[in-house]
Chains A and B, each alone.
Chain A
Amino acid sequence: MDYFIDALGDICPIPILKAERKLKEIKPRERVVLETDHSCSIASVTNHFRSRYGYPSTIVEVDEGVWQIIIEKTA
């Protein structure tokens, strides 16, 4: 199942903290979809979950300057 987090207008590190909290709650193989317009987030969020938890991310550009980051809880 996918969990949607609206982080539009939030700046670092709030998107990471929101995603991290959700990812701790959900079951393995579920995903978090984080919508953000914060340009730094596409680097900081993906980097954080890859290096610290080993979770892969996909970035979808939904509009100019708006992205959805899909993070999968692999284990």
Chain B
Amino acid sequence: MLKVIVPVKKIISRQETAALAVILVFLGAVFFLRSSHAEAAVTASFGFYAGYVMQRSRFCFAGAFRDPFLIKNTALARAVLLALFVTTTGFTAVNFLSTSHLLTGGKIYPVGIHTVVGGVLFGFGMVIAGNCLSGCLVRLGEGYLMQWATLAGLIGGSIAGSGNLGWWNELSIARSPAVFLPGLTGWPLALLLQYALIGGLYCFALVLEHRPPNLRRHFVQALEQFKPAAWFRQRYWPYLVGAAALGLGNTLLFYQWGRPWGLSGGIAHFAGWLCGLIGLNPLKWPYFNNPYFYQTSQYLLNHPLVYLAAAMICGSLFACLRHREFRIRRPRSAKYMLSALCGGLLMGYSARIAMGCNIGGFLSGAGSFSLHGWVLGFAFLGGAYLGGKILVRSFT
């Protein structure tokens, strides 16, 4: 039962006019990109969509990993599991029915100590920053000032991580196997295993929140969230609707582009470009001189993921203005800025050494049936648990 009271307003606010301007400029940019950089036109379109969906559904990966510990709430965690379920199903279908294949385009990377260390640092970082990498971009579009500190941290952390990657490569990455589950067990068993893990975790999350859970009532309620009336009545979409939309979008991106949704690589390439501006040569760093790490012939600002990240900010800005929610949002205290900066630094660094963030590493990684995605997800939980302890101590 949720009532929403909205005051009587002008028929068209300045924000809605601005929203129209944002989408027109964006469509113009995509039209221009189609002829000059076709890949970027695809990733930017998806980025805009993902930013829009995440803003409308208030989707939050940081909350998904933090709230089960902090407030015993698993609504977001279950939504992330649904996104993973849709991604898994979609990727499998695309793998068999189209020319995009997981073995060549999927996020399948080595799993080892670097995955665990990176995952714990990333989980810790996203909780103290208050958002993950994708959340940071969405918040920038909503007018938060705090996330500019996170972005600065992400850029700094990415530089450190890209430069330091050689050390991690020798210590662990080069010695660790990339495990593609269907390659190990065959497709039917891998799919079954993946679904069993997602389903098992979903039920475990339910038990954690409501014991004993009423499964039948729960699924009836969950399905009701997908009735359009349920989301138009509210000021925001239910988490599960956002999750399904993100999973479907990721599938379409994989189909169209041949590679799934990633983000931290885009930030690293952008950071490399910035370093190039001030006279450094990032192409000497271990991240950029090993084709294994960047997986495309396009460097720095030409990397399609840079466009994807920028478009996510635009998509969120559009969603926010369209629904008259934009505002310059100042953090309550300077402590938040510091926390945001430190979180950003940790996330930027750890995304490089773990070879992906919550999106490319976990969602698209586990969705590509790579063991490193799953290990990363569990390591996030460990880091988020620790981060939650620090957060509560510092801010309440």
Residues of A near any B CB (own CB < 8 A): 7-14, 16-18, 20-21, 37-40, 42-44, 46-48, 50-52, 56-66
B88: Cβ under 8 A from any A Cβ: no
What number of residue pairs across chains A and B have CB atoms under 8 A from each other?
112
Instruction: State which of A9, A47, A63 has its C-beta within 8 Å of the C-beta of B329.
Output: A9
Instruction: Contact check, A17 vs B236: say whether CB atoms are below 8 A apart.
Output: no
A63 proximity list for chain B (CB < 8 A): 327
Instruction: Contact check, A9 vs B1: say whether CB atoms are below 8 A apart.
Output: no
B146 proximity list for chain A (CB < 8 A): 11
30 contacts between A and B (CB under 8 A): A8-B332, A9-B329, A11-B336, A12-B62, A17-B71, A17-B392, A17-B396, A37-B327, A39-B55, A39-B142, A39-B236, A40-B63, A43-B58, A44-B76, A46-B2, A47-B73, A50-B2, A51-B73, A52-B73, A57-B3, A58-B3, A59-B3, A61-B6, A64-B15, A64-B324, A65-B320, A65-B325, A65-B326, A65-B327, A66-B327
B276: Cβ under 8 A from any A Cβ: no
Closest to B76 in A: A44
Instruction: State which of B5, B55, B71 has its C-beta within 8 Å of the C-beta of A61.
Output: B5
A12-B63, A20-B71, A43-B236 known; A64-B13 Cβ under 8 A: yes
Using an 8 Å CB-CB cutoff, how does the interface string of B63-85 with A read, 1 for contact, 0 for none? Answer: 10011001111011000000000
- A18 and B235 CA atoms in complex are apart in Å by 23
Instruction: State which of A16, A59, A64 has its C-beta within 8 Å of the C-beta of B4.
Output: A59
Closest to A17 in B: B396
Instruction: Contact check, A39 vs B325: say whether CB atoms are below 8 A apart.
Output: yes
Give chain A's interface secondary structure class: mixed
* Listed residue (B72, B209, B332, B395) with the most chain A CB atoms within 10 angstroms of its CB: B332
Instruction: Contact check, B60 vs A58: say whether CB atoms are below 8 A apart.
Output: no
A50 proximity list for chain B (CB < 8 A): 1-2
Using an 8 Å CB-CB cutoff, how does the interface string of B222-253 with A read, 1 for contact, 0 for none? Answer: 00000000000001100100000000000000
Instruction: Contact check, B329 vs A56: say whether CB atoms are below 8 A apart.
Output: no
A9-B336, A58-B2 known; A43-B327 Cβ under 8 A: no
B75 proximity list for chain A (CB < 8 A): 47-48, 51
B76 proximity list for chain A (CB < 8 A): 44
A11-B336, A61-B6 known; A39-B13 Cβ under 8 A: no
- A60 and B236 CA atoms in complex are apart in Å by 14
> Assuming A12-B63, A47-B239, A63-B327, what are 14 further A-B pairs, CB within 8 angstroms?
A8-B332, A11-B131, A11-B336, A13-B70, A14-B395, A37-B329, A48-B71, A51-B210, A52-B72, A52-B73, A52-B209, A56-B3, A61-B4, A65-B143
B130: Cβ under 8 A from any A Cβ: yes
Instruction: Contact check, B336 vs A12: say whether CB atoms are below 8 A apart.
Output: no
A57 to chain B, nearest CB (A): 6
Residues of B near any A CB (own CB < 8 A): 1-7, 13, 15, 55, 57-58, 60, 62-63, 66-67, 70-73, 75-76, 130-131, 142-143, 146, 209-210, 235-236, 239, 320, 324-327, 329-333, 336, 391-392, 395-396
- A43 and B7 CA atoms in complex are apart in Å by 19
B55 proximity list for chain A (CB < 8 A): 39
B2 proximity list for chain A (CB < 8 A): 46, 50, 56-59
B3 proximity list for chain A (CB < 8 A): 56-59
Instruction: Contact check, A64 vs B71: say whether CB atoms are below 8 A apart.
Output: no
A65-B327, A65-B329 known; A12-B4 Cβ under 8 A: no
- A7 and B320 CA atoms in complex are apart in Å by 20
- A56 and B2 CA atoms in complex are apart in Å by 6
A72 to chain B, nearest CB (A): 10
B329 proximity list for chain A (CB < 8 A): 9, 37-38, 65
- A57 and B1 CA atoms in complex are apart in Å by 7
* Listed residue (A7, A39, A48, A63) with the most chain B CB atoms within 10 angstroms of its CB: A39
* Listed residue (B3, B131, B392) with the most chain A CB atoms within 10 angstroms of its CB: B3
A50-B1, A52-B209, A65-B143 known; A44-B72 Cβ under 8 A: no
B71 proximity list for chain A (CB < 8 A): 13, 16-17, 20, 48, 52
